[in-house]
């Protein structure tokens, strides 16, 4: 079996960069001064023992963030970023994550390191026995585990090219065994480039620390390793399993999972499953936290690891595989303990391997970041460019702890800067981002079925729910949304159920509409296109209209739609009620774009000031939109006798728009607690009459202090089947209403049953 030849085959090449990835990233919680946190795992993370994304590792302070399995690195880093956001904001604003593999200063007494408070007795006992075997201090080291699986198409196409091994599963296992042996042999290269645990903080070593900084304490014999007696053969899967079980039998390991190899063969739940099911992926465990990356590992690093694994599959190995692996251990320990600012003793070999890898990229037509080989060579040329080198150098001026605290603070700031965003998914709709945040926090698995289409699959144990646009769910019937989509049908049904709606008619031709002039002309009325939603083509006549104006309005509306509604105009204030499962969760007042004068600044300056709010931005990626100063705004100012450079009096409110849409710079004001229950009941009953479960329903209320039962007290304008949620969650003024969380609890009521 000539793997080198097989890999360059055209039937193999398309699949070389297809793979599945996963990351587990540990890190200590610290306070804002960089001291180990004394608090428990955040309460807002409700599922504690079996959370799919946010776990504890050994200690209560050691957070483990776990991505789902992804099929691209982009997706992998998106999830990693998002889970970090959730972790940060779940901790609250007085904690952050320590960016180094080596823990911050530990308590003097080892017992003061608090073992993770799992509910499961088994989990706690296991950690206690680890504590007995290795001491609690060593268990406080953190790192990144990189899970990697070659695509099935790749292994299948390789399998098809040979006839030596008849069984596909066996073939696959052999592939991973070769990669594993070679990884163990050559992992020192990873330690050189990305080792990043040069020094320890106070109280880490019981008896003093290392005298000099090294590349990686964690990957060295001082790190997280089994005793020297633990030796396992990778010559075959059978040998591997039997050696491991022997170690457990002999009491050298408590459990098989205590075997701390730099790379672990994975497949099935237990090691013994590997025999029956074969190896399905590998877990690289020797990656130190990259202090200079917010999420502990860079995209380029991950690309390197993928490429490295292809290279190791391609690269010949020695037939004496146990010695081969042992030689790797020797190399790695040597490199790990080198001074980070000194060149490695294996520089020639390292250069040769980088050259080989680059050649392989060319031969196999692989698409890799342009910068990768430049950076690798730079790190070989100048050790201070390696991660350990950089950390070591930066720490010279102050201390490693100081540098780490500063980095942690930067990361902390970043995660709180735009609390409405979910990093990694900021191209998605804001409500979807917030819903994903809440789902991740609640321990619900989030899979994106279609990113452009905002289509999510949410899963909690066996319970699956599909959600589009944040609130289009299985709870609403199809026809109820079609009813809400059609203003005429909505009105008819509401009217038949006894609700007040503006009286009006639908027209399909200009002539037909003109003929009905007499029906509307004498009272306040509004002309609007049937289906547009952006305020276009709407004319309001608060005191009736003459025939000419009526005609103009109709022509205008027909430009927007082939159906036009003419309706009585209702006087009062419009409120948006967010109804979910027969309950009003939020009521919002929307006010047209405006500024408040201070007697000093021009309108233009006041707008600039108001737009500085980090909640304001463009294109619905922030909870509020920046106020524009375009044609419409200038017209509106002119109508009031102002210009952009006018200076309004102190306290005076200047409106820049007629319409109150948030999308044109309007203000959102939460008034949920101010709206009397009788109006809320009308909103709930009206939504029920439409057969809907999730709806944003717009009521015009003449005077909210007056009873809803009064004649003409209210009128229902329309109901929306995909109502904006973010404007209630991040209002301009008033209380935030976390509607996304209510949606989550509505879809997964079992979350509230614990």
The footprint of a second copy (CB under 8 A) covers: 10-11, 13-15, 367, 449-450, 452-453, 455, 457, 465-468, 472-483, 486, 488-489, 492-493, 506, 508, 515-516, 518-519, 522, 563, 691, 721
Say if residues 130 and 68 touch (Cβ distance below 8 Å): no
| Residue 521: CB minimum distance to a second copy, A | 9
| Residue 199: CB minimum distance to a second copy, A | 44
- Closer CB to a second copy, 299 or 466, in the complex: 466
Helix (H, G, I), strand (E, B) or coil at 333: helix
- Closer CB to a second copy, 19 or 241, in the complex: 19
Contacts 24+ apart (CB under 8 A), 616-622: 616/665, 620/429, 620/430, 620/663, 621/421, 621/426, 621/430, 622/418, 622/420, 622/430
Say if residues 660 and 591 touch (Cβ distance below 8 Å): yes
Buried b (16+ CB within 10 A) or exposed e, 489-500: ebbebbeeeebb
- Closer CB to a second copy, 399 or 477, in the complex: 477
- Closer CB to a second copy, 231 or 492, in the complex: 492
Say if residues 188 and 334 touch (Cβ distance below 8 Å): yes
- Closer CB to a second copy, 128 or 477, in the complex: 477
- The closest alpha carbon to 62, from 145, 141, 144, 146, belongs to 141
Q: What does the alpha-carbon distance between residue 526 and residue 565 come to, in Å, rounded to a whole number?
A: 8
Q: What does the alpha-carbon distance between residue 66 and residue 55 come to, in Å, rounded to a whole number?
A: 8
| Residue 479: CB minimum distance to a second copy, A | 5
DSSP state letter for 736: -
Compute CA 710 distance to the chain's CA centroid, rounded to the nearest angstrom: 48
Q: Which residues touch 656 (CB under 8 Å, ≥6 apart)? A: 592, 593, 594, 595, 603, 607, 627, 628, 629, 633, 636, 637, 665
Element (H, E) at 465: strand 463-468
| Residue 516: CB minimum distance to a second copy, A | 8
Q: What does the alpha-carbon distance between residue 233 and residue 181 come to, in Å, rounded to a whole number?
A: 10
| Residue 67: CB minimum distance to a second copy, A | 19
| Residue 51: CB minimum distance to a second copy, A | 22
Q: Strand (E) positions, 561-678?
A: 564-568, 573-580, 583-591, 594-596, 616-617, 624-625, 653-655, 667-670
| Residue 659: CB minimum distance to a second copy, A | 26
- Closer CB to a second copy, 11 or 221, in the complex: 11
- Closer CB to a second copy, 373 or 455, in the complex: 455
| Residue 633: CB minimum distance to a second copy, A | 32
- Closer CB to a second copy, 447 or 604, in the complex: 447
| Residue 54: CB minimum distance to a second copy, A | 24
Q: At what angle do helices 400-417 and 387-397 cross, to 10 degrees?
A: 100
| Residue 690: CB minimum distance to a second copy, A | 9
| Residue 365: CB minimum distance to a second copy, A | 9
| Residue 481: CB minimum distance to a second copy, A | 5
- Closer CB to a second copy, 327 or 503, in the complex: 503
Q: What does the alpha-carbon distance between residue 409 and residue 117 come to, in Å, rounded to a whole number?
A: 27
Q: What's the Cα-to-Cα distance from 415 to each of 78, 593, 617, 637, rounded to whole Å?
A: 14, 29, 18, 39
Cα pseudo-dihedral 310, 312, 316, 320, rounded to 10: -150
Q: What does the alpha-carbon distance between residue 425 and residue 674 come to, in Å, rounded to a whole number?
A: 35
Buried b (16+ CB within 10 A) or exposed e, 542-562: eeebeeeebeebbebbbebbe
| Residue 677: CB minimum distance to a second copy, A | 28
Helices (H), 92-134: 121-134
| Residue 525: CB minimum distance to a second copy, A | 13
| Residue 518: CB minimum distance to a second copy, A | 3
DSSP state letter for 733: B
Q: What does the alpha-carbon distance between residue 253 and residue 749 come to, in Å, rounded to a whole number?
A: 42
Count the Cβ atoms, other than its own, within 10 Å of residue 464: 12
Helix (H, G, I), strand (E, B) or coil at 188: helix
- Closer CB to a second copy, 319 or 452, in the complex: 452
Query: Would you say how long the chain is, in residues?
Result: 754
Q: Which residues touch 619 (CB under 8 Å, ≥6 apart)? A: none
Compute CA 317 distance to the chain's CA centroid, rounded to the nearest angstrom: 40
- Closer CB to a second copy, 459 or 628, in the complex: 459
- Closer CB to a second copy, 86 or 467, in the complex: 467
- Closer CB to a second copy, 519 or 650, in the complex: 519
| Residue 350: CB minimum distance to a second copy, A | 31
- Closer CB to a second copy, 15 or 260, in the complex: 15
Q: What does the alpha-carbon distance between residue 144 and residue 634 come to, in Å, rounded to a whole number?
A: 55
Q: What does the alpha-carbon distance between residue 405 and residue 100 come to, in Å, rounded to a whole number?
A: 10
- Closer CB to a second copy, 409 or 468, in the complex: 468
| Residue 427: CB minimum distance to a second copy, A | 12
Q: What does the alpha-carbon distance between residue 637 and residue 635 come to, in Å, rounded to a whole number?
A: 5
- Closer CB to a second copy, 338 or 476, in the complex: 476
Compute CA 16 distance to the chain's CA centroid, rounded to the nearest angstrom: 27
Q: What does the alpha-carbon distance between residue 152 and residue 493 come to, in Å, rounded to a whole number?
A: 54
- Closer CB to a second copy, 184 or 484, in the complex: 484
- The closest alpha carbon to 441, from 4, 149, 3, 741, belongs to 741
């Amino acid at each position: 079996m000539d793997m080198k030849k097989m890999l360059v085959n055209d039937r193999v090449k398309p699949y070389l960069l297809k793979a599945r990835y996963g990351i587990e990233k540990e890190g200590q919680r610290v306070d804002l001064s960089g001291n180990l946190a004394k608090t428990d795992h955040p309460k807002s993370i409700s599922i504690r023992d079996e959370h799919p994304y946010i776990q504890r590792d050994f200690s209560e302070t050691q957070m483990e963030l776990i991505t789902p399995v992804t099929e691209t690195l982009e997706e992998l880093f998106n999830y990693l970023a998002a889970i970090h956001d959730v972790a940060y904001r779940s901790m609250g604003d007085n904690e952050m994550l320590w960016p180094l593999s080596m823990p911050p200063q530990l308590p003097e007494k080892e017992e003061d390191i608090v073992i993770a408070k799992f509910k499961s007795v088994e989990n706690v006992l296991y950690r206690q026995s680890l504590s007995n075997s290795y001491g609690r201090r060593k268990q406080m080291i953190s790192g990144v585990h990189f899970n990697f699986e070659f695509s099935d198409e790749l292994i299948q196409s390789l399998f098809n090219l040979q006839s030596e091994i008849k069984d596909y599963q066996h073939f696959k296992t052999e592939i991973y065994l070769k990669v594993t042996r070679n990884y163990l042999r050559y992992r020192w290269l990873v330690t050189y480039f990305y080792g990043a645990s040069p020094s320890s903080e106070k109280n880490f070593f019981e008896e003093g620390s290392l005298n000099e900084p090294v590349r990686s304490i964690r990957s060295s014999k001082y790190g997280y390793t089994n005793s020297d007696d633990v030796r396992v053969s990778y010559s075959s899967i059978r040998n591997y399993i039997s050696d491991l079980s022997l170690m457990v039998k002999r009491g050298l390991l408590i459990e098989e999972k205590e075997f701390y190899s730099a790379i672990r063969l994975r497949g099935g739940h237990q090691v013994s499953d590997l025999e029956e099911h074969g190896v399905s992926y590998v877990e690289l465990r020797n990656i130190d936290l990259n202090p200079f990356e917010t999420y502990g590992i860079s995209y380029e690093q991950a690309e390197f690891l993928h490429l490295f694994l292809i290279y190791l599959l391609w690269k010949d190995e020695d037939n004496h595989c146990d010695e081969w692996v042992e030689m790797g251990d020797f190399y790695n320990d040597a490199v790990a303990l080198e001074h980070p600012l000194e060149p490695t003793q294996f520089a020639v070999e390292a250069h040769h391997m980088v050259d080989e890898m680059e050649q392989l990229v060319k031969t196999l037509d692989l698409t890799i970041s342009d910068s990768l080989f430049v950076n690798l060579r730079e790190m070989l040329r100048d050790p201070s460019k390696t991660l350990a080198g950089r950390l070591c150098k930066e720490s010279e001026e102050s201390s490693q702890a100081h540098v780490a605290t500063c980095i942690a603070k930067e990361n902390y700031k970043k995660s709180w800067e735009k609390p409405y965003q979910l990093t990694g998914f900021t191209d998605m709709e804001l409500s979807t981002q917030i819903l994903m945040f809440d789902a991740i926090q609640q321990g619900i698995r989030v899979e994106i079925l279609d990113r452009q289409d905002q289509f999510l699959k949410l899963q909690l144990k066996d319970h699956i729910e599909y959600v589009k646009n944040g609130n289009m769910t299985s709870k609403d019937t199809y026809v109820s949304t079609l009813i809400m989509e059609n203003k005429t049908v909505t009105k008819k049904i509401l009217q038949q159920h006894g609700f007040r709606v503006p009286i009006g008619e639908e027209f399909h031709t200009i002539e037909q509409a003109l003929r009905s002039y007499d029906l509307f002309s004498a009272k306040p009325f509004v002309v609007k296109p049937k289906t547009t939603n952006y305020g276009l083509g709407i004319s309001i006549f608060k005191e009736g209209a003459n025939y000419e104006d009526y005609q103009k309005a109709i022509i205008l509306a027909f430009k927007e739609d082939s159906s036009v509604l003419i309706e009585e105009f209702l006087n009062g204030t419009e409120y948006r009620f967010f109804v979910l499962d027969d309950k009003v969760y939020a009521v919002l007042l929307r006010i047209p774009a405006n500024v408040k004068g201070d007697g000093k600044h021009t309108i233009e300056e006041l707008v600039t000031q108001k737009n500085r709010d980090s909640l304001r931005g463009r294109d619905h990626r922030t909870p509020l939109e920046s106020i524009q100063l375009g044609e419409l705004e200038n017209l509106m100012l002119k109508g009031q006798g102002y210009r952009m450079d006018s200076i309004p009096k102190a306290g005076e409110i200047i409106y820049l728009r007629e319409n109150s849409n948030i999308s044109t710079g309007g203000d959102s004001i939460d008034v949920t607690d101010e709206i009397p229950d009788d109006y809320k009941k009308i909103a709930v009953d009206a939504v029920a009459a439409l057969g809907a479960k999730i709806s944003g329903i717009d009521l015009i209320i003449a005077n909210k202090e007056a009873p809803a039962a009064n004649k003409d007290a209210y009128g229902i304008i329309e109901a929306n089947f995909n109502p904006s949620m973010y404007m209630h969650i991040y209002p301009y003024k008033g209380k935030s209403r976390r509607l996304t969380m209510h949606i989550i609890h509505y879809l997964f009521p079992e979350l509230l049953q614990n």
